[in-house]
Chains A and B, each alone.
Chain A
Amino acid sequence: MIDLRIGERGEDVIGYMTDHLGGLFDAVKEVLNFCLRSVYDVLTTLTPVAMVVVLCLVALAATRRIGLTLVLGAGLLLIQSMDLWTETMQTMTSVIVAAFLALLIGIPLGVWSAFSPVARAVLRPVLDLMQTLPVFVYLLPTILFFGVGDAPGLVATVVFSIPPAVRLTQLGINQVDQETVEASRAFGASRRETLREVQLPLALPSIMTGVNQVIMLALSMVVVAGLVGGSGLGGVVVNAVQGLQIGASIEGGLAVVVIAIYLDRVSAALGGQGRGNPAWWPQRRARGAVAPARADESALPNAA
């Protein structure tokens, strides 16, 4: 058997990058930290109780479900009563920034791969790698690049949560009925116009599912981020576990669950899936009108 010494070579590459791209990594780190600080400042402008009210109003506007909103509000107040509000807002901050960056990278890649078979062929194994490679394997190099703190956790989180944004964007666009796309082309629309006015709007339910998935994956990395010195609930849980403080770990874990449910329900509702309805775009506007019969929808190209 030939020994390719992949490990050694990988180590060489990482070492080379650490030595020669330090400036770049520092700049990236500065930008990331700036983003985190800004979002955190916004989230902590209000007192915790006022913030709970705001978050509840957001949830109500998105889901239109009073019962759910009350449960979410109670959960958020529970966090405050456990004295974990600051850490929770830190976690919210990193989830928001990570999800935003993942979508910023993932959605254009998804659009690209929807149109280019070459892009699809290249991206597919890369995405598989990103999703299946154990997180700790690339967490270590990120510490080498960015040092300990929020930045390495954030980068790992972004890498980990990009794939669903790419995949669901591509899926959404390719699922748009071919004849509907042809209709746009037949009336003289350019590819760009067709994308903007037909394909993206009709892929929106799928893209929003991707947004929801990205947020949930980003949140699932919270504890891991805590391992590399990230602030927030991850740090709370990591410290509690290391110190065998069972009570503190339960509280930290509970807070993670609460914001997981909050972010999931709100982001899913924004994608039009608030009530388990088919993610059908015009229905949201026509709310209150009679829901279309199922048979009616079968003729629609994209009735998901």
Chain B
Amino acid sequence: MTAVEAPGRVARPGAAPEAAPRAPAVVGRNLTKAYGLSARQAARALGRPDPEKAVADEGGFLAAHDVSFSIRRGEMFVVMGLSGSGKSTVLRMVNLLNEPTAGRLEIEGEDITQVSEARLRELRNQKIGMVFQHFSLFPHRTVRDNAAYGLKVRGVAKAERRERADAALHRVGLGDRGDKYPHELSGGMRQRVGLARALAVDPPILLMDEPFSALDPLIRRDMQDLLLQLQAEDARTTVFVTHDLNEAMRIGDQIMVMRQGRVVQCAPGPEIVAHPADGYVSEFVADVDRARVLTAHDLLRPALLTLPVREDPGTALRRLGENEATGAFVIDRDERLLGVATDGRLLEAVRRGDPDLARAIGQEYHAVEPGTVVGDFMHLAGRQVVPVTVVDEQGRLTGVVPRAAILSSLSHVREAGR
């Protein structure tokens, strides 16, 4: 599960430490694609107030309209939407398999809509790997030759090609299948070959067009695990298209939701579930397993009552009474959580005449980290006097997750005021 929590934050081994994040890896600016129109027709139609209708009137189809995004280096960027929402169109603009009708696309700051054919081929070969929905392997080549295809196009010598292809196959768990033909493999294995073909050229950017949607659910989950594992090792900038929200939530750092060629919302997964931008997105997220998406951080509330450890038990007891609470967190000078003081134990300390609050605290609480998903701690809610406690890596008390917050987050009712 560690890989799931923070796949994009693991540094690429051997990569130079970057002082400040450089330019984003991929930037799309106002990308628009109208199919079936000449350049002049398209320019005219797109200038109208209602371009979608204007394009349709000309006999074309507006597949993507005014799509802008920015993908950070090493980020897993998921483009999500139903079929026909323009997500594959946008993906294919990144390597210009689809030429945008309007707009710019920048790879590491270079606008690829303006480059020469030769430079474009070079960019495709060296910077952008791609994995396809129906695998699209070359059926007349062995698995190894499939994996080596990008290197062959690059002109790498045969021996090195073979070595690197085998290394890529090994990474996806097919080290021993190099001599097979694609039709001798199962669907899941074929997509592993597809992945190896993209990895063999070691591109800084990976495009994945619904790569797992043709696979059955168990295999799909395996493949997601494989991808997350590879991503934890490489931290490759990845654009991943899917129509499956659970998949998007599971693997994506950022999720861009598209509808009818437009961007509806672009945000991290939990944010989309917690605050859908409109009715369309909230319909979309209605089916998502919220317990696996929302984290303690998303439900965080400030702790109502904290007691500094230097306070004496009598004062502490009085403050409990004022707040109508039966227990409170005790923190030290650096806000580190020491434990919980309950009214019973405080009363006992006062009777004993013990002036040190530290001796009146117990450990009757459950601490979780901010990144823990709700599903992993919801069973703990309500077992203790104090709510589920969120503690950061340094042991500081960040806040609490009350039982009511857990319940309302799992129900589909949007909370007022959030």
Contact = CB atoms under 8 A, between A and B. Distances in A.
Interface of A: 177, 179-180, 182-190, 193, 197-198, 201-202, 280-282, 285-286, 289, 292, 296-297, 299-302
Contact of A185 (B124, B137, B214): B124
Given A296-B183, A300-B183, A187 B214 contact: no
Interface in B194-246: 197, 201, 207, 214
Contacts of A185: 97, 124
Nearest to A178: B136
Interface in B101-158: 121-126, 128-130, 132-140, 149-150, 153-154
A187 to B, nearest CB: 4
A93 B197 CA distance: 47
Contacts of A182: 92, 97, 132, 136
B268 interface: no
Given A186-B95, A189-B153, A179 B134 contact: yes
Given A182-B97, A193-B153, A282 B139 contact: yes
Q: Which of B126, B150, B187: most chain A CB closer than 10 A?
A: B150
A301 B136 contact: yes
Nearest to A204: B140
A187 B150 contact: yes
A292 B184 contact: yes
B134 A301 contact: yes
Given A185-B97, A188-B150, A281 B139 contact: yes
Given A197-B138, A282-B181, A299-B214, 11 more contacts: A180-B137, A186-B97, A187-B125, A188-B124, A188-B126, A281-B140, A282-B183, A289-B184, A299-B190, A300-B182, A301-B139
B149 A187 contact: yes
Interface of B: 92, 95, 97, 121-126, 128-130, 132-140, 149-150, 153-154, 181-184, 187, 190, 197, 201, 207, 214
A29 B40 CA distance: 52
Contact of B124 (A187, A280, A297): A187
B149 A184 contact: yes
Nearest to A187: B150
B121 A186 contact: no
17 contacts: A179-B136, A183-B132, A183-B137, A183-B197, A184-B138, A186-B207, A187-B129, A187-B130, A187-B153, A188-B124, A188-B126, A189-B153, A198-B138, A280-B139, A292-B184, A299-B190, A301-B139
A286 B184 contact: yes
A300 B97 CA distance: 22
Contact of A187 (B182, B183, B201): B201
A146 to B, nearest CB: 42
Contacts of B121: 188-190
Contacts of B153: 187-189, 193
A286 B139 CA distance: 12
A286 B181 contact: yes
B6 to A, nearest CB: 29
A273 B362 CA distance: 81
B89 to A, nearest CB: 13
Contact of B183 (A188, A193, A292): A292
Nearest to B184: A292
A292 B183 CA distance: 7
B140 A202 contact: yes
A232 to B, nearest CB: 38
Contacts of B187: 299
Q: Which of B97, B132, B153: most chain A CB closer than 10 A?
A: B153
Contacts of B124: 185-188
A190 B124 CA distance: 11
B132 A299 contact: no
Give the top 8 A-B pairs by smallest Cβ distance, nearest first. A188-B125, A183-B136, A188-B124, A186-B130, A187-B150, A179-B136, A188-B121, A282-B181
B140 A282 contact: yes
A179 B132 contact: yes
A202 B139 contact: yes
A92 B255 CA distance: 67
Given A188-B125, A188-B153, A193-B153, A183 B138 contact: yes
Nearest to A285: B181
Q: Which of A188, A197, A198: most chain B CB closer than 10 A?
A: A188
Contacts of A184: 138, 149
A22 to B, nearest CB: 46
A280 B184 CA distance: 13
A198 B146 CA distance: 11
A272 to B, nearest CB: 11
A289 B185 CA distance: 13
Contacts of A297: 183
B74 to A, nearest CB: 21
Given A186-B97, A282-B139, A299-B187, A179 B133 contact: yes
B149 to A, nearest CB: 6
Contacts of A197: 138
Contacts of B123: 188
A201 B140 contact: yes
A296 B189 CA distance: 12
Contacts of B182: 300
A141 B201 CA distance: 59
Nearest to A190: B121
A20 to B, nearest CB: 44
A299 B135 contact: yes
Contact of B134 (A281, A286, A299): A299
Contacts of A177: 134, 136
Contacts of B95: 186
A274 to B, nearest CB: 18
Q: Which of A182, A187, A190, A202: most chain B CB closer than 10 A?
A: A187
A102 B97 CA distance: 36
Q: Which of B182, B183, B184, B207: most chain A CB closer than 10 A?
A: B183
Contacts of A286: 181, 184
A7 to B, nearest CB: 43
Contacts of B129: 187
Nearest to B130: A186
Nearest to B201: A187
B193 to A, nearest CB: 11
Contacts of A198: 138
Q: Which of B184, B201, B214: most chain A CB closer than 10 A?
A: B184
A292 to B, nearest CB: 5
A193 B139 CA distance: 16
Given A179-B132, A179-B133, A301-B134, A188 B140 contact: no
